Every structure is written in C-alpha cells, then in structure tokens.
Amino acid sequence: MTLKDYLNTGDRFAAASGAQLIEIGPGTARAEMKVGPGHLNAGGVCQGGAIFTLADLVFAALVNQGEFLTFAINSTIYYHVSAREGDILRAEGRIVCGHHRIPTAEVIVSNQEGVHVATFTGQAYTGRVPHSFKNLQ
C-alpha cells in the first residue's frame, strides 16, 4: 500500500469531505476538493473547516513520509478569501523543516483561478510506531 492510498482511504473524514490526494513526492504533496453544497456555511461560502480538512490531508502526506507515524501537534490556518460552491480547491504543501522528531510544513490552498484562499502551517511529532505503507505514490 502506498502513502497516497493509505491516507485517501484511511482518513475517512477527509474522504467523506471529498478531499483527495493527487500527488506525493519527496517533501511535497498536493490534494484537491470541489466545493459542493455540503461544504457551505450559513453565509453561503465554504466552511473554514472544509478548507482546513483539505490542507490537513496534505500536511499528513508531508509529515508521514518517514519511517514512523507522525501526527500534528500544532496547526494554524489563515483565510485570505472565501471559497464558493463550484470552486475546485487545490492544496499544495512542502516541508519547511524536516526535523526527525518535530517536522514543520506549509500548505497553500488556491482555487481553480490560482487565487490564494488560505495558508496552513503545522508542526508534527514523530513517534516510534512504524507505518504500514511502502511507497509515496
């Protein structure tokens, strides 16, 4: 099983939200989600939690590229503009600091027109529990 398969099937909340990893490379990852009616808040725009979920899926792909399972210990998101129904959101991330125990990553979420929707940063903790996937893709 690849890391991409592991997260696309194992992260049931992200999958139920429509977020899907598209590509994982060394220190990078990309995911997409189409904003549908179920993503909208009472104001008629995409709920921040949906955008956070998309970014967090990319974050998980970034920090779990090593030998052991790694989980978030801190994350922050800044929303620049609203996403609307029908938007295709793309989250692209990279490792900022590849520390062996506490890696840090940044994820940029943009819409189909390349408009910067949100910036997510996070830190994670790598324990001693080996993961079960074999490859990134």
Please tell me the predicted confidence (pLDDT) of residue 131: 86
C-alpha angle with apex 75: 73 to 76, nearest 5 degrees?
160
Rg (CA), the chain: 14
pLDDT-derived band at 134, boundaries 50, 70, 90: confident
Write down the pTM of the prediction: 0.96
Q: What percent of the chain has pLDDT above 90?
A: 93
Pick the CATH number of 3-130 from 3.10.129.10, 3.40.30.10, 3.10.180.10, 3.40.718.10: 3.10.129.10
Mean pLDDT rounded to a whole number for the chain: 96
Instruction: Quick: pLDDT tens for 39-92.
Output: 999 999 999 999 999 999 999 999 999 999 999 999 999 999 999 999 999 999
At 50 the pLDDT is: 98
The stretch 27-38 carries a mean pLDDT of: 98
Q: Where are the domains of the chain?
A: 3-130
Type of residue numbered 109: V
Provide the pLDDT for residue 117: 98
User: Residue 68: CA atoms inside 13 Å, Cβ hemisphere, count?
Assistant: 12
Mean pLDDT calculated for residue range 95-99: 97
